[in-house]
Amino acid sequence: MKKRAFMWTVLVIMVSLSLSASAKTTLLVSRTVGMRGQDLVDQLFMELNPDIEIEIVGQAGGLQLAEAGGEGLVVQLVSGLVPDVALMADATIGRFAAAGALTDLTSLLEQGGYFSQFWPTAWDAVRLNGRYWGVPYVTDTRALNYNTDLFAKAGIGTAPQTLEELDAIASKLTITAPDGAYEQFGFWPRGGNWWLWGWGWLFGGSFYDEATGRITANDPRIVAALEYEVSYVFKYQQPAGDFCTGSLAMQIDVSTALPYYKQECSALNYATAPVPPPQGRQTATWSGIWVWAMPKGAPNPEAAWRYLQFIMTPEAQRIKAIETGEIPTNWQANMELVDEFISEYGESGRVYLDLTAYTHVRPVIPISNEYWNELEAARNKAYALEATPQAALDEVTRILQAKLDEILGP
């Protein structure tokens, strides 16, 4: 009798365990397999939510699925595989939102009081037509890095405070050999990771008028920014030097380059400062923000929302940021990370974090990736002296406005 009772107890336990396992919700997550830091975040989510099992529906290696126009997610949606949540670059979310492929999260975010927990610009990265189609995750900023050894050798004690000072220092630190080759180079406006986006905002320009739906690539201040870039072509013809090896004195770069500098540029002594603005203006920077969204028709919307809520926590954002050198968009996580960033990257880490107060994000529109490509094509023409900055940017404005009107209507 006791043996029978024991066997019955074992059977009940086994059935309970089986039912428990089968009761788990499988959350389909669209992202790259093996993404640095994200596996740790997902593991913690599953520990805190034992009723949910994450299944990655992505590609091993390479770019994140929604980068390069979000083609990976497009393939998934067209094939009928609708993930519960998807990680994407801020430049791609407008395309999916405008196509009706994402869930409007505005009401959920308002009910949860999430807007005050993040720096305001982060929400610009997921807003289209006054509605919010995703949640901000981790990001970056851009700043001027300068070689302190070269500065000291030339008797320069501080970072440039204005663009005019930067130009003077660049000239002073550019050394030409008797044969005309550059032995040392001061600065090149197209080096590092800054792009015309950065120059345009630094000059006070605006790339898009959200109120009127107009592309403003030929804003006079953006034209002036590209004219400034091209002035270096006239003065120096072509770039030379390498910041990591010490033959380039200054370079504007992204915060996620800090781990590279630490690992690959061990002999480099450098400091970091905000990018100096033209006389009379304040500094500016810009950020590329990773965002999470819930596709329309997600199989498990409740579990998906729990995941997105977790993604917005300081703990999740800190884990990802520490692993990658990225910056949390959550205020609390950002503040908690200061000491660790300084410990890891010195005062440069603090500068990059502080610059979130001055950052911009690219317009959230259905043609964000086309905007990037057309803007860079115009920049190529201007640098090659094939078109004036004004003509090149007038063409960008004309081409992109026609594309946008075709999608949204004039």
Whether the predicted pLDDT of 377 surpasses 70: yes
% pLDDT > 90, the chain: 77
Confidence category of residue 138, pLDDT binned at 50, 70, 90:
very high
Q: Report residue 170: phi and psi, to 5°.
A: -60, -40
Q: Which helix (H) or strand (E) element contains residue 375?
A: helix 368-383
The b/e string for 65-101 (b: 16+ C-beta within 10 A; e otherwise) is bbbebbebbbebbeeeebbbbbbbbbbbbbbbbbeeb
Per-residue pLDDT of 67-78, as tens digits, reads: 444 555 655 665
Above pLDDT 70, what percent of the chain?
A: 89
**pLDDT for the residue numbered 70:** 55
Confidence of residue 322 (pLDDT cuts 50, 70, 90): confident
For residue range 37-53, list pLDDT tens digits in order. Answer: 999 999 999 999 999 99
Task: Provide CB contacts within 8 A for 31, sequence distance 6+.
Answer: 38, 56, 58, 64, 65, 86, 87
Task: Quote the pLDDT of residue 60.
Answer: 40
* Mean pLDDT, range 175-189, rounded to an integer: 94
Tokens for 303, please give them: 């579990």
Distance CA 196, CA 223 (A): 10
Nearest to 275 by CA among 193, 163, 133: 163
- Whether the per-residue pLDDT at 386 is higher than 60: the answer is yes
Residue, of 35 and 273, whose pLDDT is higher: 273
pLDDT at 5: 44
Rounded Cα–Cα distance for residues 136 and 288 (Å)? 11
What Rg do the C-alpha atoms of the chain give, in angstroms? 25
Question: What is the per-residue pLDDT for 71?
Answer: 56
User: CA 263, 266, 268 angle in degrees (round to 5)?
Assistant: 125
Q: In terms of pLDDT, which residue wins out, 358 or 76?
A: 358
pLDDT for position 330: 96
| Distance separating alpha carbons of residues 156 and 23, to the nearest angstrom | 67
Which of 193, 284, 198, 199 is CA-nearest to residue 243?
193
Q: Give alpha helix (H) positions in 2-66.
A: 2-22, 38-48
Total-model pTM: 0.88
Which of 307, 292, 294, 366 has its CA nearest to residue 102?
294
Domains within the chain, CATH numbers bracketed: 21-139+288-351 (3.40.190.10), 142-287+363-408 (3.40.190.10)
pLDDT at site 81? 79
Q: pLDDT at position 18, please?
A: 45
pLDDT mean over 182-210? 97
- Which one-letter DSSP state was computed for residue 295? B
Q: What's the pLDDT tens digit per position in 209-240?
A: 999 999 999 999 999 999 999 999 999 998 99
Helices 195-202 + 220-236 axis angle, to 10: 120
Average pLDDT over the chain, rounded to whole? 90
Give how far the C-alpha of residue 273 lies from the chain's centroid of Cα atoms, to the nearest Å.
19
